[in-house]
Amino acid sequence: MLEAVLLFREALYGSLIIAVTCALLGVYVVLRRIVFVGAALAQVSSAGIALAYWLAGHGIATSLAGHPEAFSLVATLASVLFFAGPLRGPVPPDARIGVWYAVAASAGILLIAKSSVGEAHDIFLQGNILGITRTDTLELLIASGPVIGGQLFFHKELLFTSFDRETARTLGYRVGRWDLSFYLVLGFVISISMQFAGVLLVFNFLVLPAVTGLLLGSGMTGVFLVSASAGVLAALFGFALSIPFDLPTGPTMIAVSGLFVLLAWLVRKLQRRA
| Per-residue pLDDT at 74 | 81
pLDDT in tens, 125-173: 566 787 788 888 898 899 899 999 988 888 888 887 777 777 777 777 7
| Per-residue pLDDT at 153 | 87
Mean pLDDT, all residues of the chain: 82
Is residue 116 over pLDDT 70?
no
pLDDT > 90 in the chain, percent: 26
Rg (CA), the chain: 19
Please name the residues in contact with 273: beta carbons below 8 A apart, sequence gap of 6 or more.
none
| Per-residue pLDDT at 58 | 64
pLDDT in tens, 162-213: 777 777 777 777 877 888 888 888 888 988 888 788 888 899 999 999 999 9
pLDDT in tens, 67-96: 667 777 888 888 887 776 655 556 666 777
Distance CA 48, CA 69 (A): 8
Please state the rounded mean pLDDT for residues 249-273. 92
Q: Which of 108-117, 182-191, 233-242, 264-273 has the lowest mean pLDDT?
A: 108-117
Distance CA 89, CA 82 (A): 14
| Per-residue pLDDT at 34 | 83
Q: Which domains does the chain have, with CATH numbers?
A: 2-269 (1.10.3470.10)
- Which of 73, 111, 72, 80 is closest to 97 using CA atoms? 80
SS (H, E, C) 248-261: CHHHHHHHHHHHHH
- Global confidence as pTM: 0.85
Burial class (CB in 10 A: 0-12, 13-18, 19+), 138: middle
Distance CA 226, CA 218 (A): 9
| Per-residue pLDDT at 18 | 94
